[in-house]
Amino acid sequence: MTQSKHVLVVKTSSMGDVIHTLPALTDAAAAIPGIRFDWVVEESFAEIPAWHPAVDQVIPVAIRRWRKSLIQTWKSGEWQQFKKRVGASNYDGVIDAQGLLKSALLARKARGPRFGLDKHSAREPIASRFYPFPQSVDWNQHAVERVRQLFAMSLVYALPKAPGQFLLNKNNFPKGLVRETPYVVFIHGTTWPTKHWPEDYWCELAQNVNQAGLNIVLPWGNEKEKARAERIASASNQAIVLPRLSLAAVAGVICEAQAAVAVDTGLGHLTAALEVPAVSLYGPTSPLKVGAYGMGQKHLTLEQCPKGNYPVTDPKIFAPMTPALVWQALERQLKQQPVS
């Protein structure tokens, strides 16, 4: 497969998982001149693969939406259209980088030798039965490195020793959407209730940031997050709640930030991919295998917090990760960035 030129990637979700796949494409493009990729991805993340220069065609799917109404999906013709589109090319390789039964079934609709994780490496071992060429990849490493190894073994090239590179060109994203500079982005929204950093902690941190002469910018993805953003902004003298934006526009806002503070969520991984300094807050999860990957990233975990008696917070798991502690970490990140 050293002469592979046209490869299909199946990595549908989540946002962080999709972003973690980008460095593998960078490796492959450097090792195999002229290689091009198509990518099957959930419709809500369809902007992301196109940001990589080695990607030609993005093929969106809507598994999350389709499974809510299978009859309507069939009647609409969307599934048939997907099968026609993904089966239109003869690929030199089809790589399922997800390791799930659903992704293995999607990959099976494409034409070309199929690669994926073996039964000891995949999140759902049954998925490995659908690959003629399953690969063994050690679990005990970061997700970015696992995907890089899967691609290197599937496409037969030497894995680079240097850290993975996302290769996102910041000039591709909208600029100047926030005029109130300099600013710090607060990435406060996440799907798990226990991953949320307490709202009153965000409000106190906002005051620290303002006292340092910096504005605060708050993105949001749904009405609940918007309401939280507005409450945090109300505790600040200099805060902007963004309008609803595309992912590319949010990326443009993050690109121009001095730094960011993020919970364990997709936009935190995007911040890392854009190499914007950030402090990422981890409570019930660990950054060791799925943490923000990139230059200038500070992971703050509960193990790093001083022991003691703290006021009750919601969620209570984050009580020891106080605004003072987060501000100290953020201040160190800001000192590495010239104020623009």
Q: What is the mean pLDDT of residues 19-26?
A: 98
Identity (one letter) of the amino acid at 155? L
pLDDT tens digits, 105-133 = 999 999 999 999 999 999 999 999 999 99
Three-state DSSP state, 225: helix
Report the C-alpha gap between 306 and 311 in whole angstroms: 14
Label residue 339 by pLDDT band (50, 70, 90). Answer: low
> Reading across the β-sheet that carries 239-241, which strands appear in turn?
239-241, 215-218, 183-187, 259-263, 278-282, 297-301
CATH architecture of 6-155: 3-Layer(aba) Sandwich (3.40)
How confident is the model at residue 340, as a pLDDT? 53
- Percentages of the chain per state (helix, strand, coil), in multiples of 5: 40, 15, 40
Q: Is the pLDDT of residue 2 over 50?
A: no
Label residue 337 by pLDDT band (50, 70, 90). Answer: low
How confident is the model at residue 137, as a pLDDT? 98
Task: Choose among 118, 250, 264, 114: nearest CA to 189.
Answer: 264
Show the tokens assigned to 85.
């589109």
Q: Is the pLDDT of residue 4 over 60?
A: no
pLDDT tens digits, 215-243 = 999 999 999 999 999 999 999 999 999 99
How confident is the model at residue 325, as a pLDDT? 98
Alpha-carbon torsion (322, 325, 326, 327), positive or negative = positive
Preceding peptide of 315 cis, ω within 30°: yes
Show the tokens assigned to 133.
């060429």
Give ranges for CATH 3.40.50.2000 in the chain: 6-155, 172-335
Q: Is the pLDDT of residue 73 over 70?
A: yes
Supply the angle between the helices 223-234 and 199-211 in degrees, to the nearest 10.
Answer: 50
Question: Which of the following CATH numbers is that of domain 172-335: 3.40.190.80, 3.30.1310.10, 3.40.50.2000, 3.40.50.10470?
Answer: 3.40.50.2000
Percent of the chain whose pLDDT exceeds 70: 98
- For tokens 């987060």, the residue is 326
pTM: 0.94
Query: Which phi and psi (to 5°) does residue 281 adopt?
Result: -105, 120
For 142, half-sphere exposure in the C-beta direction (CA atoms, 13 angstrom radius) is: 17
Preceding peptide of 14 cis, ω within 30°: yes
Label residue 75 by pLDDT band (50, 70, 90). Answer: confident
Which DSSP category does 119 fall into? T
Identity (one letter) of the amino acid at 116? G
pLDDT tens digits, 234-286 = 999 999 999 999 999 999 999 999 999 999 999 999 999 999 999 999 999 99
Q: What is the mean pLDDT of residues 137-146?
A: 97
Mean model confidence pLDDT for the chain: 95
Q: What is the mean pLDDT of residues 281-309?
A: 96
Q: Is the pLDDT of residue 66 over 60?
A: yes
Three-state DSSP state, 73: helix
Contacts of 88 by beta carbon, 8 Å cutoff, 6+ apart: none
Label residue 1 by pLDDT band (50, 70, 90). Answer: very low
Q: What is the mean pLDDT of residues 308-326?
A: 95
How confident is the model at residue 88, as a pLDDT? 96
Q: Is the pLDDT of residue 3 over 80?
A: no
How confident is the model at residue 212, as a pLDDT? 97
Q: What is the mean pLDDT of residues 156-177?
A: 95
CB of 300 closer than 8 Å to CB of 291? no
Supply the DSSP string of 120-180, one letter for each residue: TTSSSGGGGGG-SEEE---SSS-HHHHHHHHHHHHHT-PPPSSPP-----GGGS---S--S
pLDDT tens digits, 37-46 = 999 999 999 9
CA distances from 24 to 33, 67, 145, 152, 203 (A): 14, 30, 8, 8, 38
